[in-house]
Amino acid sequence: MRALRPDIDIAFSAKFQELELGSHPECCARRGLYEKVRSLDCVLTTTYKPRLNLQLFKSGEIPRGISVFVVNPNFYHPFLQFDPEEAGSHTEKLKQAQAFLPLAEDRDIYELFLSAIRLQTDLSILYLKLIQLHSRMGRQYFDFVNRSAITTVIEGGVADGWVAAQFLGCFENSTVYGFDPDLELFERSYHKAFLMHSKRFHFMPLGLWHKSQRLSFEINKAFTSRVADGGCDPVCKQIEAVCIDDFVANENIDKVDFIKLDIEGAEPNAIRGAEKTIRSHRPQLAVCIYHRLEHYYEIPQLLSDYTEDYVFRIGHYSPFHVFSETVLYAIPRELYPSGSYS
């Protein structure tokens, strides 16, 4: 806010916890903050939790005449570049990644990314373009995929098993090997009973990496657990990781038809660990590329090195975030629907 609108005086900022909504009105900390609120022209709230906003509006502590604005804090995303030189570097590499996309409608999605990484104050055009692009998408991980050709699936990032359950339903007679080091999340999942009862799902409490080894794993938040970037700290645990090539060889899997990767930033490592499988089995792939800005150009380049005569497509599945829920699909040309690509 300070970078975009230096003309606006920001009196103070506070987290909702500090406002202590619902607590005793005589709380000194709360009373002090509300005294500050009464002296403002407007209040800007960026929480994504509507119930908290409702509490704020119903509290009666905001006097009449003060405007309250609710904004989506994640629309721009942390990939916003403040440094012009860095923005220029990312821009050039994103443009290079567009060359891997044969269809104009997919290149349009990259145009949205290109227009969003630099600072700007008017986001209305960006938002309308995002809604337009999102409206034509179908089902995440299933768009552009030749379902009839899939019998063996490797899923990186099982989480609660919801997507794995969809795979079993959509890919008739398929077998799914699901990998996720967060065993606790899967154990308490609503979908676990169905998956295990199917006899077609095999859960592997392992991470996917470029080689088989032990790794430090951050477990701060259930749905954003990931391989730790640095050394281990108190919120980390040690996990076992395996590369797809080793797993396929050890399990004597004759043919891998589909690989899905949504593993919180470890996707390039998992792809490197699947090079032999990708080259020899020619699987269809659905890979999340939104966890890091550089993945928008590094992953297409990496997959292009391992694939020959594939069609690359892009799916974007968030109507609220420019850089979120973006999936790169790589489909062997012989499996790509006829008439959909020329």
Angle at 141 between CA 137 and CA 146, to 5 degrees: 95
Is pLDDT above 50 for 118? Answer: yes
**82-111 pLDDT, tens per residue?**
889 999 999 999 999 999 999 999 999 999
Question: What was the pLDDT predicted at 58?
Answer: 67
Sign of the C-alpha dihedral computed for residues 212, 214, 218 and 222 taken in this order: positive
> What does the pLDDT look like over 297-312, one tens digit per residue?
999 999 999 999 999 9
The DSSP 8-state label assigned to residue 149 in this structure reads G
Its sign, for the CA torsion 123, 129, 130, 132, is positive
Domain 137-288 has CATH 3.30.505.10: no
Domain borders along the chain are: 16-70, 137-288
* Residue 16: pLDDT band with limits 50, 70, 90: low
Range 32-47 average pLDDT: 72
